[in-house]
Amino acid sequence: MSRGDGGRRGAGRTPDPPARPVAPPASRLDAPGKGGGRGTYRRLGVSRTARDREQNRRDERSEDLKADKRRGRPSVPEQQMLGVLATLGERYGEDYTREHKITAGDGWYVAHVDFAWPRDRLVIEVYGGPHYKPFFDPGGDRDSKEARRILAIESVGWEVLIVRDYEMKEKTWLRAVEKVKGFLDEHRDLWPKSEE
């Protein structure tokens, strides 16, 4: 059973494991309106296997159920954001939605977001306690996961604003209102609207 080299390969070491496919850098992710949409991932060299698609469908179903619960029970920071939006005259159901599902052009599930303006492709994410407290981040990698999630949302053509709970306290309320107003005013009407 001996191979004559003591079972070792090469110069006394085992071979390197096969390289894993790596997602393209963010700058190469095309967004709809910028040459993206259906087939974007294929063009960029990211292939999706049947296993990837099935896992994505399972993740989507799981997140749909969680989003349904979150719609009925907004967190305190989300309630604060609802107040900010009401101050600006934004109407739930008419102007924006809560727990909106974001998908890529080919139907690939990306994420659910806190507040979305689907016609304008705008998202506001509210970060509160679970985004800071170590109890909710036992692995210590929440920041990097959130950054990848936001990058994925932006890569399919949505503009994202992150508002933190401490920005909506009584002393900083007006600044939060101005921040949200500025974001909405700056990015509205960038996407062509369908005739209704």
DSSP string, 66-84: HHHHHHHS--HHHHHHHHH
Q: Using 50 as the pLDDT threshold, list the residues of the chain that sit under it.
A: 1-45, 135, 194-196
The Cα–Cα gap between 125 and 64 comes to 17
Record the pTM.
Answer: 0.68
The Cα–Cα gap between 68 and 1 comes to 60
Q: Are 26 and 148 in contact (CB under 8 A)?
A: no
Which pLDDT score is estimated for 41?
42
Which pLDDT score is estimated for 3?
43
Which pLDDT score is estimated for 116?
96
Domain boundaries, the chain: 29-187
Over its C-alpha atoms, the chain yields an Rg (Å, rounded) of 22
Residue 170's CB is within 10 A of a number of other CB atoms, namely 6
- The beta-strand segments (E) located in the chain are 97-103, 109-117, 122-127, 159-164
Between 3.40.960.10, 3.20.20.70, 3.40.50.720, 3.40.50.300, what CATH number should domain 29-187 receive?
3.40.960.10
122-127 sheet: strands from edge to edge: 97-103, 109-117, 122-127, 159-164
Which pLDDT score is estimated for 27?
39
